[in-house]
Every structure is written in C-alpha cells, then in structure tokens.
Structure 1
Amino acid sequence: MLEIKHLTYQVSDDAGAELGILNDVSLTIGENKLVVITGPNGGGKTTLAKAIMGLIRPNGGEILWNGVDITSMSITERARLGISYGFQQPPRFKGLRVRDLLCLAAGRDDLSTEDACQYLTKVGLCAHDYIDREVDTSLSGGEVKRIEIATILARKSGLMIFDEPEAGIDLWSFAKLTETFQAIHARREATLIIISHQERIINLADEIIMIEDGQVAQHGPKEEIFPLILAKTSAGCTYLSEEANKA
C-alpha cells in the first residue's frame, strides 16, 4: 500500500516568490491496483510521481510504502524496497546491450539468456532480435520504452510508476504498451501508477486520480471518475489528448 499524507512542494520563481506545485496532497493506493493519474498540463502530476520515487524532495508531508516511511530515503533506498520509475523519455546507453541492462536491473551477473528473453517476451519484443542489441539511437522510442519496462520487471518491482509512457511512440507500439500493462496487472504482482492523458490507458485503471493546481480534484473508481473526465473534455478542458480520441 502507498500512503501519501499532506504532501507539499514549493519552488521559488525568479522574483523569489514561492510557487506551490503540490498543495497538501493526501492519497492512499491499495496493493496491486492499477491507478491512472490524469489532469491538465502543469497540474503537478509528474512532480507527484517524482516525489514518490525520490527524484525531488518535498517541503512537507509523508510518503509511506507498505508502512515504511520513505520520505527521507534516497532513490537507491527506495529502489531496494521495490519502487521503480519509467521516464517519459527513457535514457539510451551506447555500448550497453539489452542483455547487460537486464542483468543490471536484476542485480545478477549470471542472468541466463532464457530468463532475460522471458522479460522481453512479456513486453512484446522478440527476444532473439533484441537481446544483443545496443540500447542506442538505433531503437525506436516504443522499443526503448518496452525495454525499460522489461528492466522494471526484471527488478521484480512492487511499485511501478510510469510517466506518460505513450509520449512520442507510434500507434503500434502504443497498442503493445497497453497490452503489457494489462498483462502486468492481470498477474497482480505489482501496484502500477501511470500518468496519462490517453483514453485507452485510462480505461485500464481500477482507480483514477485527477490532479489540478497541485491538488487532488477527484479520486475514485474508474466507473465513477471517467464520466467526469469525458464531460470536462466535451466542455473544452484538455484532460484527454487529441491523439487518444483519434486512436
């Protein structure tokens, strides 16, 4: 279970004035849930995700994972507790093969080719085509994102956070990503938090969290919150991306 209690985060502008990015955010996310965080751009979604991972340090509040206070823990300490983060634009590593990246993620030098291939198969990649490729610019955005998800699976993460995984990928890769998220959720092996504006991804959710102006505007079951999102989109708000409606 993930518990967020009265989380705040401020930054200073050029004039020295304090700007509230997160304003008294409190949430509870149950074990093995698939939760989508959505809302208008600039509302604080990515900041919240980074605070959970430890990429930024909040000014106030608490974050607890399975009853353990992780608020002051480093990224490494959180990773050891089974928390992982998927970036909008995953890094590429010239000279590092997919096999090497999976070994690093699993924390094993002796990860077998068979085990490594299983992780790639789970994200919809033909293992023999990718296992010895370098994680460089020869790979598409969708390929790199699925490889990143494979590394998160190799880490056996209990909490997986994905920041707009659909950004910058083609429709075919996007379809494979949604299949991957469905499969992970079906196995009930992890809690998934996905930041997204895409209707197909929002439709996968058990629960939806709407973040506006650094606050939780809505949080509840998909059946309750999704109609509200559609109503706001119809009224001219930009909760859902145009690409989602075309897809």
Structure 2
Amino acid sequence: MLTLENLSFGVQDEKSQKEIIRNLNLTIESNKFVVVTGPNGGGKSTLAKLIAGIEKPTGGRILLDGADITEKNITERAQSGISYAFQQPVRFKGIEVFDLLRLASGKELNITDACQYLSEVGLCAKDYIKREVNDSLSGGELKRIEIATVLARGTKLSIFDEPEAGIDLWSFQNLIAVFERMRQNIKNGSILIISHQERILDIADEIVVIANGQISMQGPKDDILPHLLGTASAVDACTKFYNKEEA
C-alpha cells in the first residue's frame, strides 16, 4: 500500500545540514494498524509529515499503491487518499461540526450519516452536531471530532500524529476506546499512529521504532512490544535498546 524507499529529510542550520530522516525504508500493508514510536527527536513526527506532504523529502521516494507521490503536495496527497490528523487539531470559529464533517467527506453528507460518525468516536450526536468548532470544545472533544472527519473521508491511509498530546486522562481513556473500535473495524485502508503510549502500542498490528532518523526495530506487536516494556517509559526503553544496538 505505502512504500518509502531510501527516504531522507534534512534541514540547514547555521553550520551544516542536519539529517532528521536518513535513508529510511518502510512498507505499510493494507488493512494494518501500525504504530510508530521511539525517543523524542528521533524523527517520528517528521516522518508523518513527509508521508502527508507537509514536508518534502530531500531524498528517496514515496509510493502509494505503486504510484509515485513524492512530488505531490498536501492537497494532492489528500486527493490520493491520505488523511492527516495534527497533534493540536485546528479550531474553526463559525463552522459547525456538521459542516466540518460534510466538508471533510467531500460529498453530500446527510445528518444521519454525520451523527453515525460522531457516535463511532463516542460522542452523543445530538449534543455535538450543531456545536461550533471553537474554544467551547475541550481538547479531547476536538480530537474525537477530528477523528470523525477522518472516518467521514474514508481514505486509504489515516495518519495520527501523537493523538494523546494535550488531553486529560479521561479524554485519553475515551480516545483509546475509539482507536480500539477503529482497529476492530479496519477495512479498505490502514492506520498509522505516531505515539509512545503503551495502550496505543498494545492495539497495533505492527510496531515501528525510529531513532536517529532510522528504523531500529520493526515487526508484529507481540515481537516488539516486550522490548519496549519493563522501564519507566517506552521512550526510555527505545533509547536504551537503540544505544545497545549501536554499541
């Protein structure tokens, strides 16, 4: 479905070119729930932005269903079937939830369908369908509404960049329930989540660990997750494992 070939991305600082992603190769198959994790600063979020078209690689290729999309911008990637959910969802003053879902779907969406998408993310449709997407919504509510817009689009690849960021424990519990339902009902597409939360990692079909811009581990959850547990946090475990492999 999605193939990254020798993907690289660097930025120029005052003295030299800093490589954030280095000759990375990755394939994400259809109908898979994949979680990308690793130490902070390892390149996880940059990888998500490269796939979505927010950033442009300095080397390598990105293929979607065999078609080269490397030079396509974010709008063209979206049209090709890629959705991207930001760490901090955008608020749209003056736009109601129903209008946002209708715009996201790209088709004539009726109230019944819109309410179904809200129900799938654990929101009472009658309480939210006419709400304005503004500061009256909590971070957790906004995250779930954004997920509902991704469901409404029905794209080939849905990317979520650290969806747990900035939400409280109660909202996080609800978010986990949403992703569990998405995992159970996955079809005709794949889900890619950037996260280091154990409960999200535990939902995955496959875990990819990125450190220093390269993949240090990749495989089925049951093979990879045990390597990431047993310390204070998954991030610490990833760092220790990667340093051990480099030694």
TM-score between the two structures when normalised by the length of structure 1 = 0.92
The alpha carbon displacement at 1:73 in A equals 0.8
Distance 1:171 1:144, change over 3 A: same
| Correspondence list, 1:103-182, <5 A | 103-108=102-107, 110-182=108-180
> Percent identical across equivalent pairs?
56
C-alpha deviations, 1:79-117, integer Å up to 9, x for none?
112110010000001111101100100113x42111110
C-alpha deviations, 1:107-162, integer Å up to 9, x for none?
13x42111110010000000000000110011000000100000011111110100
Aligned to 1:3: 3
Give the letter aligned to residue 185 of structure 1.
R
Provide the rounded CA distance (Å) in 2 between the counterparts of 1:149 and 1:191: 14
Provide the rounded CA distance (Å) in 1 between the counterparts of 2:215 and 2:28: 13
Question: Equivalent residue of 1:104, what SS?
Answer: helix
The alpha carbon displacement at 1:65 in A equals 1.0
Give the letter aligned to residue 19 of structure 2.
G
Aligned to 1:87: 86
Provide the rounded CA distance (Å) in 2 between the counterparts of 1:58 and 1:71: 8
Number of aligned residues: 238
Q: Is the 8 A contact 1:232 1:239 kept in 2?
A: no
Q: Is the 8 A contact 2:105 2:152 kept in 1?
A: yes
Q: Is the 8 A contact 2:196 2:235 kept in 1?
A: no
Provide the rounded CA distance (Å) in 2 between the counterparts of 1:19 and 1:73: 24
Give the letter aligned to residue 227 of structure 1.
P
Q: Is the 8 A contact 2:44 2:194 kept in 1?
A: yes
The alpha carbon displacement at 1:232 in A equals 6.2
Provide the rounded CA distance (Å) in 2 between the counterparts of 1:210 and 1:20: 17
Q: Is the 8 A contact 2:196 2:234 kept in 1?
A: no
Q: Is the 8 A contact 1:233 1:239 kept in 2?
A: no
Provide the rounded CA distance (Å) in 1 between the counterparts of 2:234 and 2:90: 37
Give the letter aligned to residue 125 of structure 2.
A
Give the letter aligned to residue 210 of structure 1.
V
The alpha carbon displacement at 1:14 in A equals 2.1
Q: Is the 8 A contact 1:197 1:239 kept in 2?
A: no
The answer as to 2:33 corresponding to 1:14 is: no
Distance 1:234 1:55, change over 3 A: closer
Aligned to 2:245: none
Provide the rounded CA distance (Å) in 1 between the counterparts of 2:109 and 2:66: 31
Aligned to 2:211: 212
Q: Is the 8 A contact 2:97 2:133 kept in 1?
A: yes
* Aligned residues: CA RMSD: 1.7
Aligned to 1:245: none
Unaligned runs of 5+ in 2: 240-247
Question: Equivalent residue of 1:237, what SS?
Answer: helix
Q: Structure 1 runs of 4+ off > 3 angstroms?
A: 231-236
Aligned to 2:25: 26
Question: Equivalent residue of 1:56, what SS?
Answer: coil
Aligned to 1:57: 56
The alpha carbon displacement at 1:188 in A equals 2.2
Question: Equivalent residue of 2:236, what SS?
Answer: coil
Provide the rounded CA distance (Å) in 1 between the counterparts of 2:219 and 2:213: 17
